[in-house]
Structure 1
Amino acid sequence: MGYHYVNPADIGSTDPTRPAAVIYAEDHGGGKRKPVALEWVVPDTGQPVPRAFDRDFDGPEPIPGLGEVYSLHGWIYRENPSGVFAPYNPRVHCGPCPE
């Protein structure tokens, strides 16, 4: 699903201007990474499902090191045929991703 560059200070934010991560994918023409999406990540503490952009976050699902979290992706740099807020983009791969 791409390479995630995370700002730990923004984990828990639902502020549209403070996503927890910027997701990059390789530009297969030049081998450089380019931004493809943003991701908001909110730890599950038993609260109601977080919302942003007038929609519920996905989850909760486990993320190693964070535990159960809710997340919301915004595919704003690369079109996603599944939708702007879909959790996965079939057009984005990170090459040799860990299993």
Structure 2
Amino acid sequence: MCIEDQSEEKLGGMGYHYVNRDNIGSTDPERPAAVIYAKNHETGQRELVALEWVVPYTGQSAPHLFGKEFDGPELIPGLGEIYSLHAWLYKKNPSGLFAPYNPRVHCVCPEDAPKA
């Protein structure tokens, strides 16, 4: 399932998460919990856009990686409460390298979105 911000702010999307459950809890730069793909609306193909590290929340303070504090904790269905850190290494994010959402990522092509 593609993830996109549905709040009034419309912060953008994250894309499709492919999770390696063995890496949940890792703060090793070489072992992200997820690789994130988003649809290229010109080609229709999914392309790698970001990596994500996920650490279960057990009452501890937020972990750090690359000098950046993880976001959270937040409740994610199927995972429980977690801290997470996104790194938009493969698609420029105007909101910042470590922002959770990217305004350039959309689950539905903007030109195909229903008109109000």
Scaled by the length of structure 2, what TM-score is found?
A: 0.80
C-alpha distance in structure 1 between counterparts of 2:68 and 2:25, whole Å:
16
Scaled by the length of structure 1, what TM-score is found?
A: 0.93
Structure 1 residue 43 corresponds to structure 2 residue 65: no
Aligned counterpart for 1:63 among listed residues 59, 69, 76: 76
Structure 1 residue 78 corresponds to structure 2 residue 91: yes
C-alpha distance in structure 1 between counterparts of 2:51 and 2:19, whole Å:
10
Residue 89 (structure 1) aligns with = 102
C-alpha distance in structure 1 between counterparts of 2:30 and 2:48, whole Å:
16
Percent identity of paired positions between Structure 1 and Structure 2: 71
Give the counterpart letter for 1:34 in structure 2: E
Structure 1 residue 12 corresponds to structure 2 residue 17: no
Q: How much has 1:6 moved relative to structure 2? A: 0.4
Gaps of 5+ in 2: 1-13, 110-116
- Cα RMSD (Å): 1.2
Residues paired across the two proteins, number:
96
Q: How much has 1:45 moved relative to structure 2? A: 0.7
* Structure 1 outlier segments of 4+, above 2 Å: none
Q: Which has the larger radius of gyration?
A: 2
Q: How much has 1:46 moved relative to structure 2? A: 1.0
C-alpha distance in structure 1 between counterparts of 2:39 and 2:21, whole Å:
23
Residue 27 (structure 1) aligns with = 40
C-alpha distance in structure 2 between counterparts of 1:13 and 1:94, whole Å:
28
Give the counterpart letter for 2:16 in structure 1: Y
